[in-house]
Amino acid sequence: MGLVIRNDRQLKSVTGLSQDQFDDLLPCFSDIYLDRQQQVYEKGLETGTRTRKPGGGSKGRLPTMSDKLIFILSYYKTYPTFDVLGSQFDIARSKAHVNVYKLSPILYETLVRLELMPYRRFETPEDLKNALSGIDQVIIDATERAYRRSQDKEEQKEYDSGKKKQHMIKNTVMSSPDKCIIFVGRTFSGHNHDYKMLKEELSPDLDWFTDISVLVDLGYQGIRSDYCGDQIEIPHKKPRKSKKNPEPSLSDDQKAENKALSKVRVFVENAIGGMKRYNILVQRFRNRMANFEDDVIGICAGLWNLTLSY
């Protein structure tokens, strides 16, 4: 007996989606799954390794497309171990492992096809402006996730955050004021600074932010001098204590400007929090498949963008 979903509330707690959102995702997910099965079949015919048509043989413990979609969404939402996941769906641990890595790329492609996946790379400033499609204000921040501790000392140093006192991985996130995630950068190790990641993603040598209002936090000190654009907003930093200024403070006007900026900048925090409704971004990341940590955050961002359309 596999996992039984009794009502919409339980579906949302297990998958992160309402019934309507799940139903909108399912047809595209099904089409991509069947296309891939057909491709495997045709390749098998060419190599002589397969004669049975797609759909033949035993149906397994995830017989329907709905079962398959619930399975992979529940993995992202609850992030159990493969042993626990297998027990929930009445399958072996090894089958749970195989299905996660088989269905995740299908879910990723589904979100791309439905135009819910955020951009992962911009080659030119024109690519960024096309992605914004009329949006004239973006908010940039970075998010980090706990990461497994390597036994290799050099790798430990690479992923040690310092600030968080544990091993982390990080991504740059760009959202619009309506909390839609426009861009999620590639995954960096935890020792990288937020601003360093942005400069590697969007080189200051190119004119990225002309005619765009950009809001950042104090982690992006130097952005105004390094990037072109007269609408880059960053909070005022409190002066350092010194002999000449023993009690440093911001002026009332500066405090008011910081407060006004924070009221808008909080929307990217809301968007990041929306992604992190999926526990795979909250718990210490355990998977070891190459690039899976990068795909995961894109999928969670795409699922968040799906919920914003309702």
Per-residue pLDDT reduced to its tens digit, 69-122: 999 999 999 999 999 999 999 999 999 999 999 999 999 999 999 999 999 999
Q: CB neighbours of 141 closer than 8 A, spacing ≥ 6? A: 172, 173, 194, 216, 217, 219, 265, 268, 269, 272
CA distance 13 to 11: 6
Element housing 144 (H / E) = strand 137-146
Per-residue pLDDT reduced to its tens digit, 249-275: 999 999 999 999 999 999 999 999 999
Would strands 168-175 and 188-189 be described as parallel, antiparallel, or unpaired? antiparallel
pLDDT at residue 162 in the model: 72
- Measuring CA to CA, how many Å separate 232 from each of 161, 229, 257? 27, 6, 13
The pTM score is 0.92
C-alpha dihedral (310, 212, 124, 110), degrees to nearest 10: 0
Beta bridge partners of 145: 169
Name the band, by pLDDT with cuts 50, 70 and 90, for residue 2: low
Helices (H), the chain: 8-15, 19-47, 65-78, 82-88, 93-113, 125-132, 153-159, 194-201, 223-226, 252-275, 292-308
- How many C-beta atoms surround the C-beta of residue 279 within 10 A? 15
- The mean predicted confidence, pLDDT, of the chain is 92
Per-residue pLDDT reduced to its tens digit, 9-38: 999 999 999 999 999 999 999 999 999 988
pLDDT at residue 4 in the model: 82
pLDDT at residue 109 in the model: 98
CA distance 290 to 96: 18
Per-residue pLDDT reduced to its tens digit, 210-264: 889 999 999 999 999 999 988 999 999 998 888 888 888 999 999 999 999 999 9
Beta bridge partners of 119: 183
Instruction: Render the burial of 163-176: b for 16+ CB within 10 Å, e for the rest.
Output: eeeebbbbbbbbbb
